[in-house]
């Protein structure tokens, strides 16, 4: 398993800046300013990884208000999008935060099934470059095994933190002897998206302190830089 290093990320700086300019422009037309879930550099990380893989199908697992659905559509406008979240079954009954602005796409397929119950292998048939994106606060390693069973090679995780907060992460698994051996068998590539600028911020149960890559700040993507303190360790893995 190749783990992408900070030095390798630094060599990507020109491409990151170019993509940030585009993403910053797109962000000006976002359906709402997200205050929960993906935002700032983490939102850009999803955009970046999707552009690198260029999938024809994306499974979005954990949808909530739909901001990441919008990001998926901006990154790969021609891809099919399948949104999986059991919370859809209660959408009409939920109030407060759920009833605020949200994004639902006429292009996406919505399902109340959990990823583990849905016929993922059937839906992914014929899509060699399908992606599963998990922002569902479920243990990451079982999700990875479910992807392997369904034949998916490209997987993106949000909230791949170093320690347990709401779920067990791949970063935790890498420190466990048995789980790390399994990851080496399963994975060809492992990339944790870095902080692009210094972060020193506290959130419930977590303090994030990252030096960042130190990219310059341009007016074109100042809106991304303004939300730089939100860093959720978005991670891309490619299965063998």
What pLDDT score does 129 carry? 95
Torsion of CA 51, 54, 56, 62, to 10 degrees: -40
What percent of the chain is predicted at pLDDT more than 90?
88
What would the pLDDT profile of 76-97 be if each residue is shown by its tens digit? 999 999 999 998 887 766 665 5
> Which token pair is 12?
């990507």
What pLDDT score does 37 carry? 84
Is the full-model pTM beyond 0.75?
yes
CA distances 240 to 115, 120, 155, Å, are 21, 18, 12
Q: Residue 152 above 70 pLDDT?
A: yes
> Which token pair is 117?
């119950």
Strand partners, 80: 57
Main-chain phi, psi angles of 236, to 5 degrees: -105, 135
Rounded to 5°, angle at Cα 21 from 39 and 25: 70
What would the pLDDT profile of 119-139 be if each residue is shown by its tens digit? 999 999 999 899 999 999 999
**Residue listed under structure tokens 């024809």:** 56
Q: How many angstroms separate the CA atoms of 143 and 145, rounded?
A: 5
**Which domains are delineated in the chain?**
2-239 (3.40.50.150)
For residues 24-48, average pLDDT = 94
Average pLDDT, the chain: 94
Q: How many angstroms separate the CA atoms of 19 and 137, rounded?
A: 28
What pLDDT score does 89 carry? 83
pLDDT band with cut points at 50, 70 and 90 for residue 101: confident
What pLDDT score does 206 carry? 86
For residues 97-111, average pLDDT = 84
């Amino acid at each position: 398993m190749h783990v992408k290093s900070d030095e390798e990320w630094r060599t990507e700086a020109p491409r990151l800046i170019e993509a940030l300019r585009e993403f910053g422009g797109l962000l000006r037309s976002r359906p709402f300013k997200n205050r929960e879930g993906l935002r700032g550099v983490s939102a850009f990380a999803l955009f970046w990884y999707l552009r690198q893989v260029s999938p024809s199908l994306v499974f979005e697992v954990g949808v909530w208000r739909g901001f990441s659905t919008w990001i998926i559509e901006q990154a790969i406008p021609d891809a099919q999008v399948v949104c999986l979240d059991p919370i859809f079954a209660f959408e009409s009954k939920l109030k407060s935060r759920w009833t605020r602005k949200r994004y639902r796409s006429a292009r996406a397929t919505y399902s109340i099934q959990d990823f583990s119950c849905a016929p993922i292998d059937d839906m992914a048939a014929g899509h060699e470059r399908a992606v599963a994106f998990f922002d569902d606060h479920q243990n990451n390693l079982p999700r990875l095994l479910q992807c392997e069973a369904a034949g998916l090679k490209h997987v993106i995780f949000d909230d791949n933190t170093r320690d347990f907060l709401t779920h067990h992460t791949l970063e935790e698994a890498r420190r466990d002897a048995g789980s790390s051996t399994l990851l080496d068998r399963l994975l060809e590539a492992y990339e944790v998206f870095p902080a692009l600028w210094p972060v020193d911020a506290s959130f419930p149960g977590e303090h994030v302190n990252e030096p960042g890559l130190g990219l310059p700040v341009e007016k074109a993507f100042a809106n991304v830089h303004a939300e730089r303190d939100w860093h959720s360790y978005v991670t891309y893995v490619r299965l063998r």
